[in-house]
Structure formats: structure tokens, C-alpha cells
């Protein structure tokens, strides 16, 4: 009987891994173009090229009683279709300021148009949040279910430099990534001593490590669950303040050429970014159904 129960559980898990494509909202995602890269808080990162991560969004905020009426970019996100961005719940929940701007298609914050080798990307696209949803169990317990959705006030114009990232499906919903490396990208703090943020999109590779490594270092703040990844721990390479909500991503080949998939969302870590203390990322595979349940045409 015990063997039979184990078999049934295993079989149910296999069905769960593949049945997500039967969700009634699965068709709202772009499965043809998602995750394509036209490329040939980040510590130790290198500059991205135009079109390398065309799904990355920047989130800007305005204080309730601002001294200067200029939005400040403080979080990141990932475009998953022409109307929705996935980010961290802590980037939108219980704030002392308002999310007022979502920007797509930016590489260098100092230039109006990004160009490389005589190739220029179209101008950035700016949006206001039409709706904001964060997970109903966010913070129960502390820092768990740190994921949110933002609906844009109008559809994004999709092209090579603004393109959605793919959501996990099939075997990726249960894949064990421990021991592999993934990429993180953002405009977060890149000089811890000065506390300055990057003006150019940076990206860095981080290893996925055992959850126990996070519990040893930041377990006093929050414990890691199966709904999270523990990653990093390499001196000089890390996500940092301002990268929150941005993507932990990896190219995967599923019945075709490799495409980038949104594997995780930057959640939290040590304030001493780039030290040997790893960081925590929300495991997106556990929330694909929640995402699909909450998006609309």
C-alpha cells in the first residue's frame, strides 16, 4: 500500500508539471516569441547589450508628500505578456510611497535612445499601473510568497527590444536547479560603499545553492521554504538594493531552441551585498498557476 501511495503521489506530480498548459488563461501568454534575446541590485556584473534582456522592467515611485516631484526607480520586474509585469510583493505592498511608473525597453538611463554599433533601439515605453495584485499570503510567514503582478494601463508594443520572458512549464515546474547557475539583471546598487546605483543595465551569474546555506546566514531574519531559491554567496557577485522584483532567469530548450525562462524573482538578502552571504529568490514555478489565475485579456 505504501508503494502504491508513493506511486500515485509521483504520478500526480507529473500531471501537475504538464497540465499548466491546459489553464484557460495559458493562451494569454506569448509562447512564440517569449524569452528571445537579440544579444549576441547587481554587484560584480557586466553591462548588458541592447535587446539582451528585453523583458526587464523598471519600477519608479513617488513619495506621498514629495519634496521633489520626480519618480525614483527602486525595483525591477519582468514582462510576461503585453499587459502584465511580474515583480516582488514587497515592491508594491504596504509602501510609504506610490508606484507611478513602469518603464520597458531601457538599457542606459542616461541616454534617450540606446545605440550600439550603429544599431539603435526604439525609445523606452512608459506605463502607469492599472491594477496591482500581490499574493494573498505574502508575509505569512515572514517574506514568504514574495510575488506580485502589475497590469499596465495600456498594452506594450512588442518588438525585439521589448519582449516577454517565458514562464516555466512542463518539466521546468519541478526541475531541481541546485548546483546550476542563473542570471540576474538590474540597475540596483553596484557600489555598496557609496550606495550608488548603476545607470546601465547590469547582469551577473549566481549559483543556486542548498537552502541550508541561507538558513545559516540570514535564517534569523526569515527561513527558506520550498517556494524559494537560495543563490549567490560569491564575494563580489550579487543582486542588491534596487534589483528587487527583477528576474532570476535561465535559458532552457523545450521542444526548440533555447529561450529565457523566468525561474525566480529577486526577494531579499544581506544589506552587505556582494559578500559571501547568499540571497533569497521567489521560485516562480510554484506560482505559475497563481499568475494565470490573476491575469485577464
CB of 68 within 8 A of CB of 89? no
Phi, psi (deg, nearest 5) at residue 81? -160, -170
CA distances (Å), 157 to each of 222, 282, 292, in order? 39, 28, 21
Place of cell 554599433: 117
Return d(Cα 207, Cα 278) in angstroms, integer.
9
Measured between alpha carbons, how far is 252 from 162 in angstroms, rounded to an integer?
20
Domains for the chain: give ranges and CATH numbers: 26-36+54-165+289-294 (2.40.10.10), 170-286 (2.40.10.10)
pLDDT value at residue 3: 40
Please list the pLDDT of the chain residue by residue as tens digits (297 residues).
444 433 333 433 443 445 899 999 999 999 989 999 876 433 344 578 888 999 999 999 998 887 788 899 999 999 999 999 999 999 999 998 999 999 999 999 899 899 988 889 999 999 999 999 999 999 998 889 999 999 999 999 999 999 999 999 999 999 999 999 999 988 865 444 444 567 889 888 899 998 888 888 776 666 788 899 998 755 444 444 447 899 999 999 998 899 999 999 999 864 444 445 788 999 999 999 999 999 999
- pLDDT of 187: 84
CA Rg, the chain, in Å?
19
* Residues designated catalytic: 90, 146, 244
Is residue 195 classed as helix, strand or coil in its secondary structure? coil
Closest CA to 225 of 267, 273, 173, 167: 267
Q: What is the pLDDT of residue 204?
A: 86
The neighbouring-strand residues paired with 98 are: 62
Residue pair 228/280 in contact by the 8 Å Cβ criterion? yes
Q: How far apart are CA 63 and CA 45, in angstroms?
A: 30
**SS3 for 77-140, per residue?**
EEECCCCEEEECHHHCCCCCEEEEEEEECCCECCCCCCEECCEECCCCEEECEEEEEECCCCCC
| pLDDT in the model for residue 39 | 62
Q: What is the pLDDT of residue 189?
A: 54
Q: Which residues does 181 contact at the CB level (< 8 Å), separation at least 6?
A: 205, 206, 207, 208
CA 71 to chain centre: 21
What's phi and psi for 44, nearest 5 deg?
80, 15
Query: Residue 172's closest CA among 285, 85, 64?
Result: 285
Cα torsion through 210, 245, 52, 274, rounded to 10? -50
| Residues 252 and 242: beta-carbon distance below 8 Å | no
Amino acid at each position: 500500500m505504501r508503494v502504491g501511495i508513493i506511486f500515485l503521489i509521483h504520478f500526480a506530480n507529473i500531471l501537475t508539471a504538464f497540465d499548466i498548459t491546459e489553464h484557460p488563461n495559458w493562451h494569454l501568454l506569448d509562447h512564440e516569441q517569449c524569452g528571445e534575446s537579440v544579444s549576441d541590485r547587481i554587484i560584480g556584473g557586466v553591462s548588458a547589450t541592447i535587446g539582451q534582456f528585453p523583458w526587464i522592467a523598471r519600477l519608479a515611485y513617488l513619495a506621498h508628500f514629495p519634496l521633489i516631484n520626480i519618480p525614483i526607480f527602486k525595483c525591477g520586474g519582468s514582462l510576461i505578456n503585453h499587459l502584465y509585469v511580474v515583480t516582488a510583493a514587497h515592491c508594491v505592498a504596504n509602501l510609504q510611497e506610490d508606484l507611478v511608473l513602469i518603464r520597458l525597453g531601457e538599457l542606459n538611463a542616461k541616454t534617450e535612445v540606446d545605440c550600439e554599433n550603429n544599431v539603435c533601439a526604439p525609445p523606452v515605453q512608459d506605463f502607469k499601473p492599472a491594477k496591482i495584485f500581490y499574493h494573498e499570503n505574502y508575509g505569512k510567514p515572514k517574506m514568504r510568497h514574495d510575488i506580485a503582478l502589475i497590469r499596465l494601463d495600456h498594452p506594450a508594443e512588442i518588438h525585439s527590444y521589448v519582449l516577454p520572458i517565458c514562464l516555466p512549464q512542463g518539466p521546468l515546474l519541478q526541475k531541481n536547479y541546485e548546483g546550476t547557475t542563473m542570471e540576474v539583471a538590474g540597475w540596483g546598487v553596484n557600489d555598496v560603499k557609496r550606495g550608488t546605483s548603476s545607470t546601465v543595465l547590469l547582469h551577473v551569474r549566481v549559483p543556486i545553492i542548498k537552502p541550508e546555506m541561507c538558513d545559516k546566514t540570514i535564517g534569523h531574519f526569515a527561513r527558506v521554504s520550498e517556494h524559494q531559491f537560495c543563490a549567490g554567496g560569491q564575494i563580489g557577485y550579487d543582486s542588491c538594493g534596487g534589483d528587487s522584483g527583477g528576474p532570476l532567469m535561465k535559458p532552457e530548450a523545450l521542444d526548440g531552441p533555447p529561450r529565457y525562462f523566468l525561474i525566480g524573482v529577486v526577494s531579499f538578502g544581506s544589506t552587505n551585498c556582494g559578500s559571501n552571504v547568499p540571497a533569497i529568490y521567489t521560485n516562480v514555478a510554484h506560482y505559475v498557476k497563481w499568475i494565470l489565475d490573476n491575469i485577464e485579456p
